[in-house]
Structure 1
Amino acid sequence: MRKEIVLDVWVPDLTFPGWMDRWREQGRDFERAHPGYEVNIQGKDFWTFPLQVAQAAASGQPPMVAEYHFYMGQAARDLVGPDGAPVFTSLQQAIGGRAEILGEPVVIDDLLPAFREYYCHDGDLTSMPSVGTTNLLLANKGMLRAAGVPELPQTWAEVDAVCEQIAGSRNAPAYPITWSNHGTFFQQALATQGGLLVDNDNGRSGRATTAFLASDEMLAWVEWWRRLHARGRYLHTGKIPDWAGTFRAFAEREVAIRLTSSNDVNSMVRAAHKNGFDVEVGVFPYNGDVPYVGNAVAGTSLWLAGGLDADAQDGALALIQFLHNPRNAADRHKFSGSIPITHASYRLLDDEGWFDRHPYHRVAYEHVNSYPSRALPGGGPIPVSRGALFGDFAGNQDVMTRAMGEVLARGADPLTRFTAATAEAQKLLDEYNAFAIATGFRDPGGNPNHSLAVESFSTASAGRDYSAADLEKVVQLRLNR
């Protein structure tokens, strides 16, 4: 049967074995269920993905659906076409309260609140979360028990005590703990304390205009990290961020504990079993001296292009619901370790006995949904964190990780260095806002500032730490899949 409507879907190709194969297989499954549509899924270069979408938008031919990483939310909101109109439209408004589209049940009301909230603006779901992650603590169970540690630490003070026990134990590893110098951990540490990266409620109540990298919450995290390192309890590999190096240290028993993304659980458990030890999984440690305010999440989301005709828009919306139905969302979790994005997908996995066979995967879902943490009175649910939304989020993370690298490697004073980092981050934010407000995120007839602006908005520049960081994590995950 001749295909009548082509749905162009662009996603970053992370180059994992089978990554794009899986995307295209789901596209074919949708085509079989909806013979009037052809799904054209294109995997684009991870490094230059936002730039390619911007260039396509400038030519008036953006993809119908584009998958952006969470830190690109402001750039997606600011992207405009040649006519100055926003390229993307509200997913929730396009759905218009319907319960199904082309026979595909609408699942947005079943999203885990943490992810729905992250991709909402003023209560409106602007894009569909597709990959969901948070940060966790993974430990070598045998090392902890040998050191007399009966359960995983949850607070920073408990981590301090456990590290001392491990360091003093027989056959102790070289270092008790490690994690990568990456922005995701700063975000998590701030979220748990109620700290912000930028003003206006992290960019949620208005466009962010002021950067905060020397807040009390940030300095509490940095100082705790610095003390662990100074006492010889934290393994600093000397690289930014060195996902692969910290992974290797854990797999090869050089450390007992590693803080990492929930997406690493599959790889870390496989590596542990290959090397003959068991893993325990727990929550990312928090500052027990202040109230627990929220848990940070990350990942990607699917943005819907505006201006589509009714049939094309319904096809794109139906495809987005199809990709997130319980079966597909459950299988995505099995494939990538991504948190089941809906309650129904979690229940399906639970009913099938998946979590009984893989209990270490249950923690991430429970923590972002309703983990009974000791941090809260009565062990109540973790609050939803107001994740940051602002321009040049990636550049902001470059600044903080470089500052932390100097604190660890050169003994820089945290307050002095992070005050300077705030000035650096402010300059990036000012440059972003000046361009975005004046012209929108587009190429206005050969504007000489366009290439600079796109670099600020994206991960396109190979010379920037964050690009190298993400590429390195891709390589790590490829090596350990």
Structure 2
Amino acid sequence: MGGDQRTVVEILLADHPFEGFLDPIRRRAAEFGAAHPGYEVRISTYRYWTGRDEFIRILDQGRVPALVDVFFTETQRARDAVAAAGGPLFTPVERAVAGRQEILGEPVVLDDFVETARRYYSYDGELVSLPFSVSTGLLYANMTMLREAGITEVPQDWEGLEAACRVVLSGSASQGASHGVAWAIDGWFFQHYAAQQGGLLVDHANGRAGRAQTVDLASEELLAWITWWQRLHKEGQYLHTGVAQDWAGTFDAFIEGRVPFLLNSSVMAERLVAAGTEAGIEVVTDRLPRNGAVPYSGDVLGGDSLWLAAGLSPEVEDGALAFLQYLLNPENAAVWHKSSRFIPVTHGSHRLLEAEGWFAEKPHHLTAPRQLAASDGSAAATGALVGELAGMHADLVQAMTDVLEQGADPARRFAQATVAAQRRLDDYNTETAKRWAAR
């Protein structure tokens, strides 16, 4: 309680490097306090992409605010976090809601989340944290350039993309394009292409049926993607900027007309379409190209979710849970989509946006939810739940850089990456067991 006898609900959010990114959430916090005079929501932040070590230190201290924003790669770490007083640092949100239909008058939205997001953040059928900012990878196409080359449809699979790149790059049709396609060397895309082909990164059903113990970064599915990527590079179709995780450089290459195709996050759809319009080109979105030789399973998500601290007083816990419902009710989830460009995370917000004509005006925002909705719900498509996932991403990035820049053999190099990732996971699991034994 503060001096005015209000119950304080503290929330730690990840602040993205976009101007005013968290302003809508600060407004929601003020609105919630006005509607619930007995409560005050206080927001603090940590750096999103560059603050992983800072975030891990926060978890390791065993003391957190009532609500914590957790990046998807750290989901297992949050599940394993131990409170300073012993026991789990977080409690599953669905368990805390305990079947209630409303909390402090705020309607509960747990059953309204889009299925892919609910599956990712659930364990044993229980929703552990609330999906907040959800994204997926997309294919962006310069339709102005494609039509000049006689291409009227965006390719749907690897073979079609490769053929389209060849056509654009042939003769006068290239219009100055130096390569066919670009994307950042990032671990997230490896996850996408394992998932699409039904491949698992780790054992125990991708960590969904038990703690992940064994890593495989050289699976048949991943090597299919890697060797195709390597061939595109050798043939001059894939643009390697020379910088790992070069999201900005590949964005610029696409807008500047150096490539007709780009793989990037769905969050960038609005920025890419707007930048294209300014550059005099029509940018359209489509689903990530797939391996047409195998059945499609689904694409993974990115983003973050909101976790509820364990051991809160009943007043603080109910305030935190009520704020979550308010933050993600249909109206507010729709507003968050419009400002952040993450996908509408609830069915209610999607219906509201559709009724407003938002998707008719901005069809590029429909591609991501449709892609995620096409998932077959398998463990592969849901995505890996594993400790040190961010570290595995780093191993994948370094291995692919060696393949592209040094001509390393993919099978051998990714077998080495598997050894490194296995060591990371073994160390993580050992340290986790020690931490729990000590508490």
1:39-438 alignment runs, 5 A limit: 39-46=41-48, 52=54, 55=57, 61-168=63-170, 170-172=172-174, 173-370=177-374, 382-383=376-377, 385-438=381-434
Separation in 1, partners of 2:163, 2:61: 58
Answer whether contact 1:53 1:63 (CA < 8 A) is retained: no
What is the CA-CA distance between 1:323 and the residue it aligns to? 0.8
| Structure 2 partner of 1:439 | 435
What is the CA-CA distance between 1:330 and the residue it aligns to? 0.7
Separation in 2, partners of 1:204, 1:61: 27
Q: TM-score, normalised by structure 2?
A: 0.95
Q: Deviations over 1:9-47 (max 9, x none)?
A: 001222321123222111101111111100001012336
What is the CA-CA distance between 1:311 and the residue it aligns to? 1.4
Write the letter of the residue equivalent to 1:135.
Answer: G
* Identity fraction in percent: 44
Corresponding residue SS for 1:39: strand
| Structure 2 partner of 1:377 | none
Write the letter of the residue equivalent to 1:398.
Answer: A
Q: Deviations over 1:375-431 (max 9, x none)?
A: xxxxxx654522111111111000001100111111111011101111111111111
Separation in 1, partners of 2:247, 2:50: 21
What is the CA-CA distance between 1:184 and the residue it aligns to? 1.0
Write the letter of the residue equivalent to 2:395.
Answer: V
Write the letter of the residue equivalent to 2:388.
Answer: D
Aligned length: 433
Separation in 2, partners of 1:290, 1:69: 31
RMSD over aligned CA atoms reads 1.8
What is the CA-CA distance between 1:438 and the residue it aligns to? 1.2
What is the CA-CA distance between 1:158 and the residue it aligns to? 1.0
Separation in 2, partners of 1:72, 1:440: 18
What is the CA-CA distance between 1:285 and the residue it aligns to? 0.8
Q: Deviations over 1:245-285 (max 9, x none)?
A: 00000111111000111011111111101101111110001
Q: Deviations over 1:281-316 (max 9, x none)?
A: 100011111111122111100000011121111110
Answer whether contact 2:120 2:383 (CA < 8 A) is retained: yes
Corresponding residue SS for 1:19: coil
Separation in 1, partners of 2:251, 2:94: 39
List 4+ stretches of structure 1 deviating above 4 A: 47-60, 381-384
1:337–1:175: structure 2 CA closer, same or farther, 3 Å change rule? same
What is the CA-CA distance between 1:60 and the residue it aligns to? 5.8
Structure 1: state its 5+ residue gaps.
371-380, 446-481
Q: TM-score, normalised by structure 1?
A: 0.87
Bigger shift: residues 54-63 or 421-430: 54-63
What is the CA-CA distance between 1:169 and the residue it aligns to? 5.0
Separation in 2, partners of 1:56, 1:389: 21
Answer whether contact 1:295 1:382 (CA < 8 A) is retained: no
Separation in 1, partners of 2:252, 2:328: 33
Write the letter of the residue equivalent to 2:334.
Answer: A
1:161–1:54: structure 2 CA closer, same or farther, 3 Å change rule? closer
1:245–1:355: structure 2 CA closer, same or farther, 3 Å change rule? same
Write the letter of the residue equivalent to 1:424.
Answer: A
1:294–1:417: structure 2 CA closer, same or farther, 3 Å change rule? same
Corresponding residue SS for 1:209: coil
| Structure 2 partner of 1:452 | none
